[in-house]
């Protein structure tokens, strides 16, 4: 149980220890020098001059007084009636000039430029306050361990949760107070109006404090802790902001669900409306809670760091996403680069086969590194596989093949590029549309990776979660049902049993699919139920094997 009085006592003690002597002066002067100019001083205003369309080549007499000649501009105009324009793009001023020519234009141009919203200076405030936290966070937990005072704190009837929460409260509170004070001074000087964006400042400070404590949770001294926070914290913050910004471009408000990234979007004034703000608050609360819990869990009664095998296995998630998304969904990214025809011309079958082969290769390399036998990689049970499980696995696969219509029942953003990505990533669950050979390679690689390597290494629950995030991120409910059914099968028969179900699923005719979303959800329920039928512990896949 968390006792608020103990939490506040830890926070006060941490502030007193870290800011003792000249520490408070250093932090205060640094904050004043960095934050005050960024938030309180008005920015100079510049007037952008009018852009003039420039062209190269022979200029028609009728346009001689309207177009200036510039030989470096990549545009060529020929003739007078009609005027032929050769260029990679037509700027709006040039389009207006061409529209003044007599007669109907042979070709009509519709210029649709993507608008990239520019964040306000509140984002700069949040990032600067994040950089100010790296020093105090280094001295907070790593300093306690190097001074051998962490043991006395944990033995003074203070729980690990109270210790972690108190340290987070101290530095999240200090950073929030500093940034909000600068925002208020900006309102006084007229540099920044107050608004909903101010809520993003304490959210970003709280998430940054939790992330900094988590990065230094097992640092042995201040040098080790400083190396971690100084290197990782800014990179993680900018990476999460970039991910949130990209998601926000795909669908407004979608970036709010990214922890820390949503808070930075809000601080930069890029989130509008109540729903995205609530999403940023909830994602920050979830991220802070998870990180503070991780810090508390990393300490034992002696104050030494506890190993966290689950966190060390997160690298598998990144590798899995890279080896599957790049060859399968990567070609659709050409649409963002302005060449959608190239992405459509690339064969999806080759990407599916390459992704599956990379899954299998990675699983084999990891098994060799861990000195596993083939039976261990295939996750085979020691007591053997009962023969009645094989037809049950085929039944599970057929039931899963009937569930394609369940995807259409879920809401999806009206975005053409994201829809193209979704069609390609659907090969994670339905690789059969890419052809028989790519489907077999993809299914074999996925099962070796998720039901073989990961189910044995990190447990069925996390392996199933990784499967959903990598193979069906845009169809999570159907992916979760499939992961549960396959995990139950693999617990009783390893990879071969799950592979039978996947092959029956992938190679089943499309005509068997149920058109009704309700019927598709029933098929998913039948698949999970058939996989769990007769199990001694039907919920056993929630724990380690």
Q: Say yes or no: 149 and 199 in one domain.
A: yes
Q: What is the pTM of this model?
A: 0.55
Q: In whole angstroms, give the CA distance from residue 522 to residue 393.
A: 17
Cβ(439)–Cβ(357) under 8 Å?
no
Domain boundary among 264, 283, 307: 307
Q: Across-strand partners of 77? A: 57, 85
Q: Say yes or no: 278 and 404 in one domain.
A: no
| pLDDT tens by residue, 84-95 | 766 656 666 777
Q: Say yes or no: 403 and 298 in one domain.
A: no
Domain boundary among 256, 281, 307: 307
pLDDT at 464 over 70: yes
Establish if 216 belongs to a structural domain: yes
| pLDDT tens by residue, 59-69 | 667 766 665 54
What is the count of structural domains for the chain?
A: 3
Q: Say yes or no: 159 and 85 in one domain.
A: no
What are the backbone dihedrals phi and psi of residue 267, each rounded to the nearest 5 degrees, phi first?
-65, -30
**pLDDT of res. 71:** 47
**pLDDT of res. 182:** 85
Q: Say yes or no: 494 and 467 in one domain.
A: yes
Establish if 110 belongs to a structural domain: no
Choose the most confident range, by mean pLDDT, from 365-369, 386-390, 525-529. 365-369
pLDDT at 253 over 50: yes
Establish if 401 belongs to a structural domain: yes
pLDDT at 544 over 50: no
Q: Say yes or no: 272 and 397 in one domain.
A: no
Establish if 499 belongs to a structural domain: yes
**pLDDT of res. 54:** 47
Residues 6 or more apart in contact with residue 28 via CB below 8 angstroms: none
Establish if 455 belongs to a structural domain: yes
What are the backbone dihedrals phi and psi of residue 69, each rounded to the nearest 5 degrees, phi first?
-90, 130
Sheet with 68-69, edge to edge strand ranges: 68-69, 54-57, 75-78, 84-87
Q: Say yes or no: 157 and 302 in one domain.
A: yes
| pLDDT tens by residue, 334-387 | 656 555 555 556 677 888 899 999 999 999 998 998 889 898 898 888 776 677
**pLDDT of res. 99:** 72
* H helical segments located in 114-159: 122-132, 134-137, 143-146, 150-154
User: pLDDT band for position 115 (50/70/90)?
Assistant: low
Establish if 49 belongs to a structural domain: no
Helix/strand number for the chain, H first, E second: 24, 4
Q: Say yes or no: 430 and 525 in one domain.
A: yes
Q: Say yes or no: 93 and 157 in one domain.
A: no
Domain boundary among 268, 283, 307: 307
Establish if 482 belongs to a structural domain: yes
**pLDDT of res. 153:** 72
Q: Say yes or no: 356 and 472 in one domain.
A: yes
How high is the mean pLDDT of the chain? 76
pLDDT at 466 over 50: yes
Give the CA-trace dihedral at 116, 119, 123, 128, to 10 degrees: 80
User: pLDDT band for position 444 (50/70/90)?
Assistant: very high
Establish if 111 belongs to a structural domain: no
pLDDT at 210 over 50: yes
User: pLDDT band for position 187 (50/70/90)?
Assistant: confident
User: pLDDT band for position 10 (50/70/90)?
Assistant: confident
Residue range of the domain that includes 89: 54-99
Pair of tokens at residue 526: 């039948």
Q: Say yes or no: 323 and 421 in one domain.
A: yes
| pLDDT tens by residue, 477-497 | 888 888 888 998 888 888 898
Q: In whole angstroms, give the CA distance from residue 39 to residue 36.
A: 5
State the residue for tokens 């949770």.
Answer: 217
Q: Say yes or no: 499 and 370 in one domain.
A: yes
Q: Sort 411 into a burial class: Cβ within 10 Å, 0-12 / 13-18 / 19+.
A: exposed
Residues 6 or more apart in contact with residue 187 via CB below 8 angstroms: 193, 194
What would the mean pLDDT of 414-443 be, rounded to a whole number?
Answer: 78
pLDDT at 458 over 70: yes
């Amino acid at each position: 149980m968390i006792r608020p009085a103990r939490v506040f006592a830890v926070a006060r003690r941490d502030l007193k220890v870290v800011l003792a002597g000249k520490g408070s002066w250093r932090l205060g002067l640094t904050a004043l020098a960095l934050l005050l100019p960024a938030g309180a001083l008005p920015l100079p205003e510049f007037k952008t001059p009018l852009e003039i369309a420039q062209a190269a080549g022979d200029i028609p007499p009728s346009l001689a007084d309207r177009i200036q000649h510039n030989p470096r501009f990549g545009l060529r105009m020929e003739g007078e009636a009609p005027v032929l324009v050769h260029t990679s793009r037509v700027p709006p001023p040039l389009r207006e000039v061409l529209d003044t020519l007599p007669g109907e234009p042979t070709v009509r141009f519709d210029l649709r430029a993507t608008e990239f919203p520019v964040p306000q200076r509140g984002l700069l405030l949040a990032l600067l306050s994040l950089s100010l936290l790296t020093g105090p966070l280094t001295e907070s937990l790593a300093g306690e361990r190097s001074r051998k005072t962490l043991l006395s704190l944990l033995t003074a009837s203070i729980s690990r949760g109270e210790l972690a929460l108190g340290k987070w409260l101290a530095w999240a509170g200090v950073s929030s107070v500093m940034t909000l004070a600068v925002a208020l001074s900006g309102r006084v000087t007229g540099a920044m109006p107050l608004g909903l964006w101010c809520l993003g400042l304490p959210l970003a400070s709280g998430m940054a404090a939790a992330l900094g404590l988590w990065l230094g949770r097992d640092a042995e001294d201040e040098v080790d802790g400083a190396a971690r926070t100084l290197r990782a914290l800014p990179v993680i913050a900018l990476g999460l902001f970039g991910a949130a910004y990209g998601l926000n471009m795909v669908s407004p408000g979608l970036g709010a669900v990214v922890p820390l990234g949503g808070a930075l979007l809000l601080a930069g004034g890029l989130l509008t409306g109540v729903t995205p703000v609530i999403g940023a608050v909830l994602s920050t609360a979830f991220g802070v809670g998870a990180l503070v819990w991780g810090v508390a869990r990393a300490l034992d009664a002696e104050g030494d760091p506890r190993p966290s095998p689950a966190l060390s296995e997160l690298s598998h998630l990144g590798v899995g996403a890279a080896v599957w998304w790049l060859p399968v969904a990567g070609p659709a990214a050409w649409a963002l680069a302005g060449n959608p025809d190239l992405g459509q011309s690339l064969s999806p079958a080759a990407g599916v086969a390459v992704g599956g082969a990379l899954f299998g290769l990675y699983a084999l390399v990891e098994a060799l590194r861990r000195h596993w036998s083939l039976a261990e990689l295939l996750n085979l049970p020691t007591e053997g596989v009962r023969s009645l499980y094989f037809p049950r696995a085929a039944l599970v696969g057929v039931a899963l093949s009937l569930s394609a219509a369940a995807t259409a029942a879920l809401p999806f953003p009206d975005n053409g590029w994201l829809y193209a990505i979704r069609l390609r990533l659907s090969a994670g669950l339905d690789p059969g549309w890419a052809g028989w050979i790519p489907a077999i390679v993809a299914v074999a690689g996925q099962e070796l990776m998720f039901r073989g390597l990961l189910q044995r290494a990190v447990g069925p629950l996390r392996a199933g979660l990784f499967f959903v995030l990598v193979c069906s991120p845009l169809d999570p409910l159907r992916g979760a049902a499939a992961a549960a059914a396959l995990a139950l099968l693999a617990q009783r028969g390893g990879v071969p049993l799950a592979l039978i179900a996947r092959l029956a699923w992938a190679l089943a005719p499309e005509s068997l699919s149920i058109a009704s979303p309700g019927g598709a959800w029933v098929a998913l329920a039948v698949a999970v139920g058939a996989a769990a039928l007769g199990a001694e512990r039907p919920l056993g896949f929630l724990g380690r094997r």
